[in-house]
Amino acid sequence: MIPNNFEYIRANSVQEALQLLSQKGDGARLLAGGHSLIPAMKLRLNAPETVIDISGIQDLASIHRDGGRLHIGALVTHRTVETSDEVKSSCPVLSEAAALIGDPLVRNRGTIGGSLAHCDPAADYPALTLCLDAEIEATGPSGSRTIAADDFFVGMFETALQPGEMITRVTFPVLTRGTGAAYEKFSHPASRFAVVGVAAMVTLDGSGNCSSVRVAITGAGPSVFRATKVEQALTGKAPDEQAISDATQDVADPADLMSDISASAEYRAHLCSVLSRRALQRAVQAARG
């Protein structure tokens, strides 16, 4: 319950945070909403020497739409994503998914940047980010770069962020007519992390066939991954119930999945199929408007 001692510094700007990060080196951790870092510190599983509190950086706490892109600042809380009118109209699946993260109190403080940087294998945002082909803006001492979601998630608690970099914003596509997305989550009864969570996005062409399909799965493996077999099986096809059902028979190989006391790899593989089917059905429905 009582963390190890550490040095606390509040950063009031991204610049300041980056300077502190480079100055303090490996022993420093950024504190945003704190809902991954502080629990780990309380159990003394994580004992940073320096905690750089970025939670007050206002620049990172806003949402804005810029044509076909929806920019969400790294410090935007799950609650804000859940309730934002802008998100609800531009990319409703994000609001829907944010409402399933943790519990209401966690959502009041947890942030999208924190969740992605922490990269818990059972977190929800990685699935959304990957499925929606979002871009993560990482800012470091030499400026900002954009990392495609496909390149961001490297492994369990491991991202493409370099030492000294921080996430500053996440950019999602605005979902327009013909594109729909959905998130299906099977929650752990205690932690409310995803035992398996599947996000699916479908774009339909003029004749109602899938011109593009993206499916991303969290919770099941050591890191979020795309269900490429499903995507390929449906691309170019009419996504009727049968086609979706056929495409989602064998979504994941149990050998690639996690097995623990909450679910075996075999059951997780089964959930990958069931939830992919459900998510795709709803995504298609949304795409049809």
Partner 1 sequence: MANYIGSSLKRKEDRRFITGKGTYTDDIVLPNMTYAYIVRSPHAHARIKAIHADKALAHPGVVAVFTGKDLQDDGVNPLPTGWQITDSMIEPPHPVVAVDRVRYVGNPVAVVIANSRAAAKDAAELVEVDYEILPAVVDATRAIEKGAPTVHDEAPDNISFTWELGDKAATDDALSKAAHITRLEIVNQRLIPNAMEPRSAIGDYHPARDELTLYTSSQNPHLIRLLMCAFVLGIPEHKVRVVSPDVGGGFGSKIFHYPEEVIVSWASRKLGRPVKWTAERSESFLTDAHGRDHYTVAEMGIDKDGTILALRVNTIANLGAYLSTFAGGIPTWLYGTLLAGQYKYPHIYVQTKGVFTHTTPVDAYRGAGRPEATFVVERLMDTAARELGMDPAELRRKNFIPADAFPYETPVVLTYDSGNYEASLEKAMQIIDYQKWRDEQAKARNQGRLIGIGLSCYIEACGIAPSKVAGAIGVRAGLYEGASIRVHPTGQVTVYTGSHSHGQGHETTFAQIVADGLGVSPENVEVVHGDTAQIPFGMGTYGSRSLAVGGSAIWRAVEKIREKAKKIAAHKLEASEDDIVFEDGKWVVKGTDRALTLGEIALTAYVPHDYPEGLEPGLEENSFYDPANFTFPFGTHIAVVEIDPDTGKVQILRYVAVDDVGNVINPMIVDGQVHGGLAQGIGQALWEGAVYDENGQLLTGSMMDYAIPKADDLPHFEVDRTVTPCPHNPLGVKGAGETGTIASTVCIVNAVVDAVSHLGIKDIPMPLTPERVWRAIHGK
Partner 2 sequence: MGHTIKVTVNGVTHEATVEPRMLLVQFLREVLMLTGTHIGCDTSQCGACTVLVDGVATKSCTMFAVQADGREITTIEGLAANGDLHPLQKAFWEEHGLQCGFCTPGVIISSYDFLKRNPNPTEEEIRHALEGNYCRCTGYQNIVKAVKKAAQSM
Q: Which residues bind partner 1 (CB under 8 A)?
A: 1-2, 4-5, 43-44, 186, 188-191, 261-264, 266-267, 270-271, 274
Give the Cβ contact number of residue 44 at 10 Å.
11
By CB under 8 A, residue 192 contacts partner 2: yes
Tokens 């320096």 correspond to: 50
Binding flag, residue 12, partner 2 (CB under 8 A):
no
Q: Is-contact 114 32, C-beta < 8 A?
A: yes
Q: Which is nearer to partner 1, 187 or 209 (CB)?
A: 187
Rounded Cα distance between 98 and 125, Å, is 8
Give the separation between CA 13 and CA 54, rounded to whole angstroms: 8
CB of 93 to partner 1, least distance (A): 21
Question: In 3-state terms, the chain is what percent helix, strand and coil (to 5)?
Answer: 35, 30, 35
Q: How many residues does the chain have?
A: 289
Report the residue number, 83 or 264, with the smaller CB distance to partner 2: 83
Query: Which does residue 22 touch among partner 1, partner 2, none (CB within 5 to 8 A, set by kind)?
Result: none
What gap in Å lies between CA 234 and CA 247, rounded to an integer?
7
**Mask of contacts with partner 2, 198-237, x by CB under 8 A?**
----------------------------------------
Q: Is 239 in the site for partner 2 (CB under 8 A)?
A: no
Residue among 25 and 104 whose Cβ is closer to partner 1? 104
* φ/ψ (deg, to 5) at 171: -115, 125
27 binds partner 2 (CB under 8 A): no
Residue 58 per-residue DSSP state: G
Is residue 45 a contact residue for partner 2 (CB under 8 A)?
no
Distances (CA, A) of 106 to 10, 110, 187: 22, 6, 15
Contact residues: partner 2, CB under 8 A: 1-8, 10, 31, 34-35, 38-39, 41-43, 51, 53, 55, 79, 83, 102-106, 108-109, 190-192
